Chain A
Amino acid sequence: MQKYFVGVDIGSLTVKVVLLNEDLETLGMVMNRAGFSGRDVATRLTEQLLADSGLTTQDVSATVATGYGRVTFPSDREVSEITCQAKGIIHLFPSARTVIDIGGQDSKVIKLSQNGKVADFAMNDKCAAGTGRFLEVMATALEVEWQEIGELVSTSENPTKISSFCTVFAESEIISQVSAGALKADILAGVCESVASRVASMTRRTGLEPDIVFTGGVAHNQGVVNALAKQLGFPLLVSREPVITAALGAALLAREILKA
């Protein structure tokens, strides 16, 4: 009889749910904005995901919740997103030794040991510069959709310089750059460089060891991927669905609860 497992990642900006079966097949994944109640969104998404596979919550053997909102969600276990991210990434990329995760307002670097366990980690502290929030604020100020950023940045020949210290001040900076006639593509390229350098300096705390996997919502942004790879001097592996890797890790851990 088939068994099913759910991984829920209630992040600061978005909620992700992954449905896994015993044979490690991902049956479904879904993401949505968290809004005011990440928990309610997570509940709704889980039911929807299960229904799409012809299942109900009764069919779920175990659920693991992660992300900032994890304590609010009824689950069999709540696990930090660091552990879940490591689990998800090592499953997708067995050769991974360093994970760079840039989410809505978190950025982290996770060093993995040979057996895929977390050996060390570094996170941003009390500052959202260099996270998805930073990019979101800048994209909004420039009236650009995040999907357009990668392509726009690739056309830039003269990236502007932007402070990487404060998201709010950086927004003022780019507005003045716009007034001074700087090209959108160049400003965006500067924004991507800024994010990359912030993250690059964090990698120096844990050290970098290939293979390096870049995950989290910001990994969708080709501009940042390229800027980061260039600053680190290493190629970056990116999964097709970087947003859900922690939720996947949570689902994998849910599967292990039962085995224990």
Chain B
Amino acid sequence: MAKRNYRPLVSVKALQKTMGRYYAITNYHRYWGKPLRRPLAWVTSGAPVELLRAFKIHSAYPEQYAAIYSARKTTVALCEIAEAAGYSQDLCSYARSNIGGVLRPDLAPLGGMPKPDLLVACNNICGTVLKWYEVLARHFNVPLLVLDTPFLTAELTPQAKDYVLEQLYAMSADLEKITGRSLDEKNLVKQMRRSAEITSLWKETRQYCQASPSPLNAPDFFIHMAPIVVLRGSQEGIDYYRKLKAEVKERVELGQGAVENERIRLVWDNIAIWPQLFTFYKMFADKGACFVSDTYSGGWAIEQAPGTPMESLAATYTEVFLNRSPEFRANQLINLIREYKADGFVMHSNRSCKPYSLVQEVIRRKVMSETGVPGLMIEADMADSRAYAEEPVRNRVQAFLETFE
């Protein structure tokens, strides 16, 4: 019996180099930021980073650092600091661990995050970010720019688009004041083009998983999505995904699957369970079950909306999947199940992420009824391991996998 039935990617080395470089540059920002007149912004994962790049602003992502804190098993300690300071345990664990890391950087991996010069929050992913970033703004006494994207119950209306567009212009004016630069239109076009390219590469890489056996499994999506989150608009990001795509393409040509003896194809919904990233999916891989796609990393595989750069930004960032109706989200999952020929799906009821999780039961029933495939729901948290009960989770996973026999 093979001891390891999960095949790691060679590109992981290039990923570590790319991300290592990013963290080093980011962490030493205090040395080069002022001389190069490049402020550091802490931004939400759905912030219009292309606009910030056009102003030569360097971005760091608290959510992404929070995932690292989790992988390094420091989330609980950091959350406890925030909770002791009065933050409710019901709040998002990214917010709690980030705040914990701000209050006690000595407890955070990488020494915590470098101090921001400004904060940029877009609520297309959730409403928690608004209050979270206000806390940070008060703590660091730096400007906070907010982009309010109205929730889309159906398609993007002209009014919603105009509302967001107006805010982007206002944000641009604020950024001019903060950076002392005027908006470089050519640079913005370049950033948009690069974003479009990296997004395309990521999308095509994921699409290879329609093959059987799938060349990638869930841990791969979650590990290799890092550059598209934090290096969108950069040439390093593009170079990295070209490499990854080539390796994945080769795997398909050679018929190499991520999971040995793939016999069950599944789609994953919600953010990863970072503290158990490998051990969790191993339960599935051990039984020949492979996650051939997911709704989370797929969120970064979306085409740019048409129009001028600002119009495109307004539409693209408002149409982010977490800002859409349950019908849209159910269809997203249904389409993935059909396109990737999945035999079932697994939903992570993520205690931290209310917008992602609270509507899952409705989506689950609709998807099961329309596709006829079974869907498992498990309760956990993306970063806080206190919410992960191994035995009950294993029990449910086993029961679910037994239905495929």
Question: Chain A residues in contact with chain B, CB under 8 A?
Answer: 68, 79-83, 117-123, 125-126, 205, 207
Contacts and interface: CB of A to CB of B under 8 A. Distances in A.
Contacts of A81: 395, 399
Interface in B357-387: 361, 365, 368, 374-375, 377, 379
Chain A CB count within 10 A is highest, among B374, B377, B398, B399, for B399
Given A123-B392, A126-B392, A82 B399 contact: yes
A118 B402 contact: yes
B392 A80 contact: no
B402 A123 contact: no
B1 interface: no
A120 B374 contact: yes
B1 to A, nearest CB: 16
A80 B398 contact: yes
Contact of A117 (B368, B375, B389, B403): B403
B396 interface: yes
A118 B403 contact: yes
Contacts of B402: 79-80, 82-83, 118
A72 B48 CA distance: 53
B391 interface: yes
A119 B368 CA distance: 10
A48 B169 CA distance: 81
B391 A68 contact: yes
A79 B399 CA distance: 8
* Consensus secondary structure, chain B interface: helix
Contacts, number: 38
Interface in B297-344: none
A79 B398 CA distance: 8
The 7 nearest A-B residue pairs measured at CB: A82-B399, A80-B399, A83-B402, A80-B398, A125-B379, A118-B403, A126-B389
Contacts of B395: 68, 80-82, 123
A126 B361 contact: no
A81 B399 CA distance: 8
Contacts of A205: 361
18 contacts: A79-B402, A80-B395, A81-B395, A81-B399, A82-B402, A83-B399, A83-B403, A118-B399, A118-B402, A119-B374, A119-B403, A122-B377, A123-B396, A125-B379, A126-B379, A126-B389, A126-B392, A207-B365
A126 B391 CA distance: 10
A81 B392 CA distance: 12
Contacts of A126: 379, 389, 392
Given A68-B391, A120-B374, A126-B392, 5 more contacts: A83-B403, A121-B396, A121-B399, A123-B392, A123-B395
A79 B405 CA distance: 12
Nearest to B401: A80
A122 B379 CA distance: 11
Chain A CB count within 10 A is highest, among B361, B389, B392, for B392
A68 B365 CA distance: 28
Contacts of A125: 379, 389, 392
Contacts of B361: 205
Interface string B37-49: 0000000000000
Interface string B156-169: 00000000000000
A257 B379 CA distance: 32
Nearest to B378: A125
A128 to B, nearest CB: 12
A80 B401 CA distance: 10
Nearest to B387: A126
A80 to B, nearest CB: 4
A2 to B, nearest CB: 27
B346 to A, nearest CB: 13
Chain A CB count within 10 A is highest, among B365, B368, B392, B403, for B403
B354 to A, nearest CB: 17
Contacts of B398: 80
B350 to A, nearest CB: 13
Contacts of A119: 374, 403
A83 B399 CA distance: 6
Contacts of A121: 396, 399
A202 to B, nearest CB: 12
Contacts of B374: 119-120
A200 B403 CA distance: 24
Contacts of A80: 395, 398-399, 402
A67 B398 CA distance: 12
B307 to A, nearest CB: 43
A83 B403 CA distance: 8
Contacts of A117: 403
A149 B377 CA distance: 35
Contacts of A122: 377
Nearest to A124: B392
A26 to B, nearest CB: 23
Contacts of B365: 207
Contacts of B379: 125-126
Chain A CB count within 10 A is highest, among B375, B379, B391, B402, for B402
A120 B368 contact: yes
Nearest to A117: B403
A68 B379 CA distance: 18
